Structure 1
Amino acid sequence: MNIVDIARVPEGSRRGASRRGAARRVGSNAILIGAGALLFAASAAATVRRYAYMATMSGTPMAGRWMISAIWAPMCGQTWLHAAASFACMWAVMMPAMMLPVLVPMLMREREPSSDSASIRSALLTILVGMGYFLVWILAGCAVFPLGAALAAIALRVPAFAHAAPAAGGAVVVLASLLQFTSWKAKRLAWCHDMRQRTRRAPGGACAALLRGMRLGLNCGTCCGNWMIVLLALGVMDLGSMAIVTAAIAAERVAPCHGHVVRILGLAGVAVGVSMMVRGF
């Protein structure tokens, strides 16, 4: 349709088409939000159940008055491969509960339905974007386990290392929280906010959608990676710590005055880390 043809279309028809397009977008976003809420609830329930199960497994008392979680070592009758698979399963279950509050607004920008067939295609591509996003986080969990298992093994064999672990964990929390005040963090948050505001641009195909999701996951991971480090230092099996970190990640992404929120969260993290260091000495 050229400019002359558009000019010939009655104004009422154009307004009607605009209203129908807006209605389709609202309906599509409502479905996406509803599906995200259901997945969030399922992930949160499964995470709580998993944590309750792991709570029944007694950890190992360590020098320095702390307990090492059973997730970092094979349980009775398990191999290291089984332990790694168990951790990856737990990590994959809890990631939707942690990251969906920031992912859904980005996924809403991937939808641009114009007809029923386009809506179905858009929905399938959105699912692929989400799969690519969480694939990155699952791979990150697979990389985290060897590091955590190695540190746990050292703590079990070197009492001095175990005794210093609580204070060292506090120092890690302080350093991770100080990243909130850097230009490195500001640039990545700016990218995330720009992603939420930019014009909709649906991926061209299945492979492009999957790669798009992986790119979103990589950028999101670098943006909130310092908070994931805080969670690991506080204890990945601690539900309270997980809830606080999830709230912090969501707040710095969606808050209107996110610059102030980022700095407030950084100060709170530094305070928590210093408290851990004091208790560890």
Structure 2
Amino acid sequence: MFLAICALLFIASAAATVLICQAMADMGEVPMVGGWAMSSAWTPLCGGSWPAAAGTFLGMWVLMTLAMMLPSLAPALWRLHERAAAAGDTHPGLVAAWAGIGYFLVWTALGLMVFAGGAALVEAALRWPQLARAMPFAAGLLVIAAGLFQVSRWKLARLGHCRQVSWRGAGAVAVIGQGLRLGLACCASCAGLTVLLLVGGVMDLRTMAVVAAAITAERLAPCGERVACATGGLMLGAGAVQLTLALWQL
């Protein structure tokens, strides 16, 4: 039952994410000074309001993170399920569900901060052409910084915390707290890959697939730390290429 529910959630969220991304692609992008394009996800639709735009983005973000994080989260929730059952809890499945809710609450809060920061940056780029022209250069620097973070000891330590779950007693509050702690650890560990997702296009299916595969591999593979370092090396190379192209255009 646990595996069936996780599979259904993954399929539903992945399908919804694909449909949303296709709809956003059909809406097109706004060309900006500097040779890059702005996704319509960061601004209100014609006649819309900022709260509506934030709500739409947050809905897309939740579905996206559910599809991207569930493959690596499910084993951790299953271990929590087993420990709750071994401790005599009569509803171990509910324990896993509460922990999952706490986990995705953290990612939802991050989505709100991402939208606020992205919308402010886009508004500034629309007002100041020089800032818009420098965005590709800044994107290259961000990818390089994300690659350095990906190979850092701090990142590898956070990766270890993402795999740790412990039974801290019954009660929805305690279990949600466990999910919140796990979510915070995973958000910190995924900081570099999240930057890569935002730079590559938050609604770009190819970038999503690459980031999701990297997150899953570094958490589930026996040599996850090596996977993280290899991913960081690729990000450093991609950032260097992006930086070179941006300098050439300047």
What is the TM-score of this pair, normalised by structure 1? 0.83
Structure 1, unaligned stretches of length 5 or more?
A: 1-30
RMSD of aligned residue pairs (Cα, Å)? 1.7
Q: Which residue of 1 aligns with 2:12?
A: 42
Q: List runs of 5+ in structure 2 lacking aligned partners.
A: none
Of 142, 147, 152, 2:112 maps to: 142
Match of 1:99 among 65, 69, 83: 69
Q: Does 1:212 pair with 2:178?
A: yes
Structure 1 equivalent of residue 240 of structure 2: 274
| Pairs within 5 Å for 1:118-133 | 118-119=89-90, 121-133=91-103
Give the aligned partner of residue 258 of structure 1: 224
Instruction: Measure how far apart 1:202 and its partner are.
Output: 6.0
Letter in 1 for 2:34: G
In the TM superposition, what whole-angstrom CA distance separates every residue of 1:6-62 from its partner, at most 9, and x where no partner exists?
xxxxxxxxxxxxxxxxxxxxxxxxx32221111111110000001111111122111
**Aligned residue-pair number:** 245
> How far off its partner does 1:65 sit?
1.4
**Greater Rg, structure 1 or structure 2?**
1
Does the aligned pair in 1 maintain the 2:161–2:182 contact within 8 Å? Answer: no
1:110 aligned partner, one-letter code: L
1:1-281 alignment, distance < 5 Å = 31-112=1-82, 113=85, 118-119=89-90, 121-193=91-163, 195=164, 201=167, 203-281=169-247
Cα separation, 1, equivalents of 2:169 and 2:56 = 34
Q: Deviations over 1:116-135 (max 9, x none)?
A: x945x111121111011001
- What secondary structure, in the 3-state scheme, does the structure 2 residue paired with 1:60 have? strand
Structure 1 distance, partners of 2:186, 2:86, is: 29
Q: Is the 8 A contact 1:109 1:201 kept in 2?
A: no
> Percent of aligned pairs with the same residue?
43
Structure 1 position 181, deviation (Å): 2.0
What's the offset of the Cα at 1:182?
Answer: 1.4
Deviation at 1:190, TM superposition (A): 2.2
Please tell me the residue identity of whatever aligns with 1:56.
Answer: D
